[in-house]
Amino acid sequence: MKVRAIRRLLGFCLFLAVTAVSLEVGARLFFARSAGPRALLYGTPWHRNVTLPSLPRQDMQVHDDAREGYTKYFPREVKWGVDDRGRFPIRINNHGFRGPDFSTEKPPDVLRVLTLGASSTFGFGNRDDETYPHLLEEILNRRAAGTARFEVINFAIPHATTTEIVSMFRAEGVELRPDFVTLYEGVNDAKAAFMGTAYGGLWGVLGRRLMLVELVNQLRPSLGGLPADAWSDQVAAGASERFLANAAALRDDCRRAGAHLIVASQQAKSELVEREQMRGLRYEDEVKLVQESLRPGAEGSEWRTLVRGTDDPNDPRTPRLVRRLVEAHFGGIFLIHARIMRDLREWAAANSVDFVDVIQILDPDRDHLTSWVHLDREANQRVAEALAARILTLPEAASRGVDP
């Protein structure tokens, strides 16, 4: 009797395993129709950093030096990026960050600036002399008077959330004795919240590896009985709370380290609008468009789908479910990002933290966004000028003989 019960249990477990594998294979075959063979690879396309065919030409997103709470580059790695002029090298310094080598010990008569962030600060798609940290150092040293020299360290790693950024700053940033610290991030926290990875646990791990689990995550608004816009707002509240908690932790760490913190709003787009259509479309206007697209009963926009990389959203090879998932995915992340940025502005004002509104600065010309948060050189120049203008007016700069 006992043996029979064990056999039944094992048979049931085997049935569940075979069913799960069959559903997973079926989901991957379904998405492979529109996403291509990459949907068949291990992991999920939404979480995979880069597709395998792109690695020989562009590997700037890959960083495998695992530390406690974050990953970074190995010192002096050779990385590559691609822009419209072709392939270009990316300089990784002696500390595993982008830019020239620097010493842990701050040189005398130097005002040190750490720019914290992720890929938009690192400079995804930018050559070494086009990132805003590089341009910020040039502007500061050109405008500053007196004997002090500014050193700006690009302290950003692609894909980092504020949780990882705080860990990185505590582990490696504090000992550099920065005078100023800037924070420019948001979309990775929004993405982590949308994908469920911010909550961790077994479900988050499975969601990064199994297409079926990820599909359930994408359909969760409908399965949970909530319209997509309401669900995004619900998730956004939790994402914003975590983001602001990390911002507060960074503020406290900076105060203890004697550094002045400056936070900036992050310009972004939903990735559902063509770059050519971005000029004149302000951030808040796009928020309203996305909210309308995700409202209950909406037919769905005519924006292109990024699953195939095609400009025809009505391509018969692209299933309607895929088109709607893409809109829910990128639109949902964008709405969460909007909530985080709105709350960050209010938090900075309430806590007397210096704030630079990059969203407002870049709003008239959002076509300078090369992807959902990445900027071209001209936009990076504007970000650098805004940060420099704020830094040069601070008492810490004036006390060192810097004349704005």
Residue 323 lies inside a defined structural domain of this protein: yes
Q: Is residue 51 part of a domain?
A: no
* End-to-end alpha carbon distance in the chain: 87
Separation of alpha carbons 90 and 126, rounded Å: 9
**For 184-188, 269-273, 400-404, which range has the lowest pLDDT when averaged over its residues?**
400-404
Whether 47 is in a domain gets the answer no
Q: Between 148 and 267, whose confidence is greater?
A: 267
Lowest-pLDDT range of 61-65, 72-76, 338-342: 61-65
Confidence class for position 37, pLDDT limits 50, 70, 90: low
Report pLDDT digits (tens) over 199-232: 445 555 565 667 777 666 655 554 444 455 556 6
Say if 403 falls within a structural domain: no
CB contact burial 315-333 (16+ within 10 A = b; e otherwise) = beebbeebbbbbbbbbbbb
What average pLDDT does range 167-171 have in this prediction? 97
338 and 226 part of one domain: yes
Q: Which of 224, 211, 180, 229 is nearest to 327 (CA)?
A: 229
**Per-residue confidence at 358, pLDDT binned at 50, 70, 90?**
very high
Q: Residue 325's pLDDT band (boundaries 50, 70, 90)?
A: low
- Considering the entire predicted model, what is its pTM? 0.80
Domain count, the chain: 2
Band (116; pLDDT cuts 50, 70, 90): very high
Chain CA centroid to CA 360, Å: 19
Domain contains 95 = no
More confident residue, 143 or 1: 143
CATH code of the domain containing 148? 3.40.50.1110
Q: Are residues 241 and 323 in the same domain?
A: yes
Q: What is the pLDDT of residue 44?
A: 54
Q: Which domain holds residue 240?
A: 111-398
Is the pLDDT at 316 greater than 90? The verdict is: no
Using CB atoms within 10 Å of the CB of residue 279, give its burial: 0 to 12 exposed, 13 to 18 middle, 19+ buried. Answer: exposed
- At 22 the pLDDT is 82
Report the pLDDT averaged over residues 47-61. Answer: 52
Tens digit of pLDDT for each residue in 347-357?
Answer: 999 999 999 99
User: Does 87 reside within a domain?
Assistant: no
Q: Are residues 124 and 35 in the same domain?
A: no
| 71 in a structural domain | no
Q: What are phi and psi of 240, to 5 degrees?
A: -65, -40
Q: Are residue 124 and residue 206 in the same domain, yes or no?
A: yes
- Average pLDDT of the chain? 81
- Residues 200 and 279 both lie in one domain: yes
- What per-residue confidence (pLDDT) applies to 192? 85
Better-predicted residue by pLDDT, 149 or 114:
114
16 and 142 housed in the same domain: no
CA distance 318 to 300: 14
pLDDT at 306 over 50: no
Instruction: Answer whether residue 330 shows pLDDT above 80.
Output: no
Q: State whether 123 and 254 are in the same domain.
A: yes
Is a pLDDT exceeding 90 seen at residue 284?
yes
- Both 140 and 23 in one domain: the answer is no
In a domain? residue 237 = yes
**Residues 36 and 131 grouped into a single domain:** no
Nearest to 275 by CA among 341, 198, 398, 367: 367
In this structure, are 36 and 119 located in the same domain? no
Q: Say yes or no: 136 and 283 in one domain.
A: yes
Question: How long, in residues, is the chain?
Answer: 404
Give the CA-trace dihedral at 340, 343, 345, 351, to 10 degrees.
Answer: -130
The answer on pLDDT for 138 being more than 60 is: yes
pLDDT in the model for residue 171 = 97
